[in-house]
Amino acid sequence: MVRSVTLSNGAEIPLVGLGTYKALEGTVTEAVKAAIGAGYRRIDGACAYDNEREVGAGIEAVIHQGAVKREEMFIVSKTSTARRRIEAVLNKPGLKYEPAANQIGSHPYLTQERLIDYCHSKGIAVTADRGERLVSSTGLGATLEEPRIKTIAEKYKKTPAQVLIRFHIQRNVIVTAKSANPQRIAQNFAVFELSEGDMETLRRVNGNMRTFPMSW
Ligand SMILES: NC(=O)c1ccc[n+]([C@@H]2O[C@H](COP(=O)([O-])OP(=O)(O)OC[C@H]3O[C@@H](n4cnc5c(N)ncnc54)[C@H](OP(=O)(O)O)[C@@H]3O)[C@@H](O)[C@H]2O)c1
């Protein structure tokens, strides 16, 4: 069973999704098929990733095999005109605006606990995929090499990537992990439980470090 959270509009969004940003051409369809086979029901894409046709082909193939129904899948896309369209809706007089989800950057170096608690207290789901790499092994996002994360991973006989993903799930934060590798796709979806003490250790890794500073 895929764990999900309910958005304020009633839609169910699976907590773990497959990312497709920078997935190499020719690998995406197989990655999507592997992910759905492993239990993923959310695929994250965007026009700008230039691979939505491959994503669609993967979903279509699995639906055709009868392994999943279209209505079970939560497909995310982003388009460059979305903001204008949203503004057009919001500018209608008397329209009440209730955000369903807030997309933020978050990982153990940037835990964002107060913001997440605030959003959840208002019934706003939080999704942690705003350009802050989850399992990156370079630069400030070197979370796979972080000693405290490695120690916790060893304790549970999991990988650091699984600990990072679990950190989000356990805070009810929606997370998207990109992989084109079937083993890692399955690994990233494998569910386990971290103790509250280990969650606290991960929270203390926080240094309010952003790998991708943004201001609007
Ligand atoms: N809405 C937005 O503004 C926005 C912005 C950025 C990203 N996103 C979404 O979020 C997704 C995730 O972000 P991301 O692609 O930047 O980075 P990511 O998922 O944090 O990291 C992807 C990298 O980690 C590797 N990886 C995956 N699983 C692993 C594991 N278990 N162990 C070791 N390495 C692993 C992947 O390599 P392999 O493929 O070789 O496994 C890939 O190089 C994107 O693909 C996109 O769909 C959305």
d(CA 180, CA 190): 16
Ligand 1, atom 26, lies closest to the CA of: 179
**Which residues have C-beta within 8 Å of that of residue 162, sequence separation ≥ 6?**
153, 156, 187, 188, 190, 192
Average pLDDT, the chain: 85
Ligand 1, atom 29, lies closest to the CA of: 184
- Residue 150 confidence (pLDDT) above 70: yes
Distance 129 CA to ligand 1 centre (A): 9
Full 3-state SS string of 109-160: CECCHHHHHHHHHCCCEEECCCCCCCCCCCHHHCHHHCHHHHHHHHHHCCCH
Mutate which of 165, 178, 212 to test ligand 1's pocket (most atoms within 8 Å of Cβ)?
178
Ligand 1, atom 22, lies closest to the CA of: 178
- Residue 139 confidence (pLDDT) above 50: no
Q: For 94-126, how does the pLDDT look when each residue is reduced to its tens digit (9 = 90+)? A: 655 687 888 888 888 888 899 999 999 989 899
Q: Is the CB of 102 under 6 A from ligand 1?
A: no
Cα dihedral across residues 138, 139, 143, 146: positive or negative: positive
pLDDT at position 25 is: 92
Cα dihedral across residues 179, 182, 183, 187: positive or negative: positive
Which neighbouring-strand residues pair with 174?
127
Are 142 and 148 in contact by the 8 Å Cβ rule? The answer is no
pLDDT at position 53 is: 92
Q: Is the CB of 166 under 6 A from ligand 1?
A: no
Distance 4 CA to ligand 1 centre (A): 20
pLDDT at position 140 is: 40
CA 123 to chain centre: 18
Single-letter amino acid, residue 146: E
- Residue 185 confidence (pLDDT) above 50: yes
Mutate which of 77, 83, 176 to test ligand 1's pocket (most atoms within 8 Å of Cβ)?
176
Q: For 57-67, how does the pLDDT look when each residue is reduced to its tens digit (9 = 90+)? A: 999 999 999 99
Q: Which domains does the chain have, with CATH numbers?
A: 4-204 (3.20.20.100)
pLDDT at position 94 is: 60
* 12-14/4-6 β-pairing: antiparallel
